[in-house]
Structure 1
Amino acid sequence: MVMKVIPRRSDERGNADHGWLKTFHTFSFAVYASGEHDQFGCLRVLNEDRVEPQTGFGTHPHREFEIFSYLVSGQLEHQDSMGNMEVLKRGDLQLTSAGTGIRHSEKCHGSEQVHFIQIWSIPHKGGLSPTYYTRHFTDEEKKDNWVQVVAPAGSPGVSDAREASGPAPVHSKLSLYATLLSPSSALPHVFPKEGDGELRKVYIHVVQTSRYNPGTPSGAQVRISGADVTVDLREGDGAYIMGEAGTEMKVENAGDRVAEILLFDVE
């Protein structure tokens, strides 16, 4: 079996402190441009954002992207041109299929900073009708377990209702899993056998929960291993991982605190 891991270190990400917004960009975004880090399969944007109270992203347009937000802490107020208005909190997953075009705003709600992961993926077809979904997953569900929070639309057990249990439907070849991994615990992940190509793609992101710390490694420690490869990650780090279908990798908490980890299985 073959597996390759390429770390994406937190302090190498694009980052900016605008006062009201502190942000890290895994892929090219806004004024940050990197030919080496434009996208990974259909995964196009992975931003770790912290927005201060009473501020946020004003109303702006999007089209032909699947846009979702994973809430880490605080509260995020969403409004859009489809008439949706919602305040999201820890454990919530919001997904907007922009399709032919929407306008929306995302602002910090309440008196505390909101910390969330902003994710965009490229849909497998254009001209879709705009749709909106929300899902909620508790910390207890995610404790030492991979919880699938996003799955391709039309997959078995995936509801297309605005609010439902189970993963939110995305119109991309992408699945997103989340875990809260305890110290000394480990979880396996097997590269799926479905899909095209010899090597399957996974992207791992370790959520930067400790603090906003550009250039300063801290917090949780995660070890990725499999097929004679071992790579250590810290909070804010990510990794491009390629493996043959059927290869098993292990994701281990090698530190002394709970690690919040996102795993993207993409094509």
Structure 2
Amino acid sequence: MIELRAGADRGHADHGWLKSQHSFSFADYHDPQHMGFGPLRVINEDRVAPGMGFGTHGHRDMEIVSYVLEGELAHQDSMGNGSVIRPGDVQRMSAGTGVRHSEFNHAKDRTTHFLQIWIEPAERGIAPGYEEKHFPEAAKRGRLALLASPDGGEGSVTLHQDARLYAGLFDGDERASLQLAAGRLGYVHLARGTLTVNGRALVAGDALKLAGEPELRLEAGDGAEVLVFDLPR
């Protein structure tokens, strides 16, 4: 099964300071056909206006991954962490038994464009945790770099779920493939550019859901920045 989730059909919210597109049901956007995929529960493409951000708020029992495409995002949380994440950085916050945090764009003249990803953990009630790592463009050029995994392999951040997240940059003849074990799900989200995945042409914002496919094949990219998820059912 290969199913297209067209970027143009995503949910949309415009709060003035925040413009967000929802791949899955979130907040006031509800679509029973798009409640998640395996443990992948949220992919929000957010644009935060200069000098604005998300005030302090709480979460529980969710693995929250932030991936910055443009600009900077300042993070503070109740665990005592404070940092600024930029393009190439991957941040993982395990909400566990409960955490409060804020995210702000402190720039005066630049919008922050980032992806907010939620993955349900394999176990509820774990201790909250935080991790952040940088992945340079060279690590993603023409290949899929492992960003997040259950064992922190290849320098990735650690997820409390049997899920793996990859990112790649593709242009021209650059191509890559990813094997999917029997019973696994694949989800491809194209953040920028154009890309062909298993023969399907994607534009920015599009996604593919894959089940029963043994392999993902990525090719014919033009300015493509793509996230690929290998997920349990």
| TM tier, smaller | over 0.9
Residue 61 in 1 paired to residue 58 in 2? Answer: yes
Q: Which of 80, 85, 98 in structure 2 is aligned with 1:83?
A: 80
CA distance in 2, matches of 1:190, 1:85: 37
Pick aligned residue for 1:231 from 196, 200, 210:
200
Structure 1 or 2, whichever has the larger Rg, is 1
Note if contact 1:49-1:116 (Cα within 8 Å) is conserved in structure 2.
Answer: yes
Any idea what SS the aligned residue of 2:68 has?
strand
SS in 2 for 1:11: helix
What are the within-5 Å matches in structure 2 for residues 1-267 of structure 1?
4-111=1-108, 112-152=110-150, 155=151, 158=152, 166-193=155-182, 199-208=183-192, 220-225=193-198, 230-244=199-213, 247-254=214-221, 257-267=222-232
The CA deviation at 1:192 is: 2.4
Separation of aligned partners in 2, 1:249 and 1:113? 33
Quick one: distance in 1 between partners of 2:172 and 2:16?
34
Which residues of structure 2 form unaligned runs of 5+? Answer: none
Q: What is the alpha-carbon distance in structure 1 between the residues aligned to residue 113 and residue 157 of structure 2?
A: 20
TM-score under structure 2 length normalisation: 0.95
Contact 1:206–1:237, Cα closer than 8 Å, also in 2: yes
Report the Cα distance in structure 2 between the residues aligned to 1:183 and 1:249, rounded to whole angstroms. Answer: 18
The answer on whether the counterparts of 1:174 and 1:264 sit within 8 Å (CA) in structure 2 is yes
User: Matched residue pairs, number?
Assistant: 231
Amino acid at match of 1:248: E
Q: CA deviation at 1:19?
A: 1.6
Identity, in percent, stands at: 42
- Contiguous gaps of at least 5 residues in structure 1: 160-164, 194-198, 209-219
In the TM superposition, residue 62 of structure 1 has moved relative to its aligned partner by 0.3
**Deviation digits for residues 124-143 of structure 1, max 9, x if unmatched?**
01110001000100011110
Post-superposition Cα deviations, 1:117-166, rounded to whole Å, max 9, x if no partner, equal 100011101110001000100011110011000001xx2xx27xxxxx71
Deviation at 1:13, TM superposition (A): 0.3
Partners of 1:25 and 1:176 in 2: how far apart?
19
AA matched with 1:200 = R
User: Where does structure 1 differ by over 3 angstroms across 4 or more consecutive aligned residues?
Assistant: none
Q: Retained in 2: the 8 A contact 1:222–1:253?
A: yes
Q: Is the 8 A contact 1:42 1:173 kept in 2?
A: no
1:32-65 Cα deviation digits (max 9, x unpaired): 0010000100000100111011101100000011
8 A contact 2:143–2:175 mirrored in 1: no
| Contact 1:151-1:168 at 8 Å conserved across structures | yes
1:258 shift after superposition: 1.8
Secondary structure in 1 aligned to 2:26?
A: coil
RMSD: 1.3
CA–CA separation in structure 1 for the residues paired with 2:69 and 2:181: 28
Normalized per residue, the structure richer in strand is 2
Cα distance in 2 for partners of 1:135, 1:192 equals 27
- Once the two structures are superposed, what CA deviation does each residue of 1:74-132 show, in whole Å capped at 9, x if it has no partner? 00000000111111111000110000000000111323111111000111011100010
